[in-house]
Structure 1
Amino acid sequence: MGAEPARAFKVPQSVLVVIHTPALEVLLIERADAPGFWQSVTGSKDTFDEPFERTAAREVQEETGLDAGASDHALRDWGLENVYEIYPQWRHRYAPGVTHNTERVFGLCVPRPVPVRLEPREHRDQVWLPWRDAVERCFSPSNAEAIAWLPRLGGMPRQ
């Protein structure tokens, strides 16, 4: 019997990616482990030195099957960060003493609503909604607030 490998702790830095169309339709996905919990794409960095943009593109691919780098898609860093307390029931995933996570917000503009390929261990359903309806359906206040930014950003990529 060999020694068990050391468990890697989650990096307390993550992304929130609001996937939307130029007409401000927003993709929400329902968590498999929490029915009724609708959200945008989220996920943690794999390592502290992984750039947030790479994390965003990777999480979009893993959770929806969409390629954030496709020629008709526009991934952009909104320059917004949320810092929030990690729920106590999830703190065991992080290094001892870590209580807060920093979440960087991105938008991914796609030309039209498209069906996505969900990772069934993570998400169970998908829906495209007008932005106001998406704000109302989101469980997370920071996710709802990010979606509420869409009209101010115009839906289209800023340069």
Structure 2
Amino acid sequence: MRPPKIPESVLVVIHTPALDVLLLERADRPGFWQSVTGSKDAPDEPLTETCRREVFEETGIVFAEPQLVNWDLANVYEIYPVWRHRYAPGVTHNTEHVFGLAVAPGTPVVLAPREHLRYEWLPWREAADRCFSPSNAEAILQLPQRLAAGA
């Protein structure tokens, strides 16, 4: 039996300089599109390491440290009831830390078939509209301002 998930995760908005955003369709919920997301593997795992591991596991993308930007934004949200069984009894909320990851256009993507069915690169507004998660959509909508501010 797996240990319970840690209710602290990362959301990594992967984008090109032209603000095309990578979205992934969940295998366990077809029609649910999202950015890379995932929980810490251990309470002491650094958030940047969680990002590196999740981005590689879900997309096959390997990146250099300067490409990853911590937006210093944390969203606390209620875990969807359908996924609460993955957490310890009584855990109802997760803290999600948001990062941006700039990649070159045409960066190859290799999906983890157990996690995702398809991927698409979409213009940022269209990507935000496609996301099922409100916090993911809001992060994508912040992308132009974050890049303009050099964040």
Please say whether Structure 1 and Structure 2 have the same fold, judged by a TM-score greater than 0.5.
yes
Q: 1:35 & 1:92 partners in 2: Cα distance? A: 20
TM-score (norm 1): 0.89
Q: Pick the aligned partner of 1:76 from 61, 69, 76.
A: 69
Q: 2:100 & 2:86 partners in 1: Cα distance? A: 27
Q: Secondary structure at the match of 1:154?
A: helix
Larger Rg: 1
Q: Pick the aligned partner of 2:21 from 4, 26, 47.
A: 26
Q: Percent identity?
A: 66
1:64 has 2:97 as partner: no
Q: Pick the aligned partner of 1:152 from 141, 145, 148.
A: 145
Q: Pick the aligned partner of 1:103 from 75, 78, 96.
A: 96
The aligned amino acid for 2:115 is: E
Q: How large is the Cα RMSD of the aligned pairs? A: 1.6
Unmatched segments (≥5 aa) in structure 1: 1-5
- Tell me if the contact between 2:74 and 2:96 (Cα under 8 Å) persists in the aligned partners: yes
Q: 2:103 & 2:148 partners in 1: Cα distance? A: 10
- Larger helix fraction of residues: 2
Q: Deviations over 1:87-138 (max 9, x none)?
A: 2222221112211100000010012132300000000101101101101111
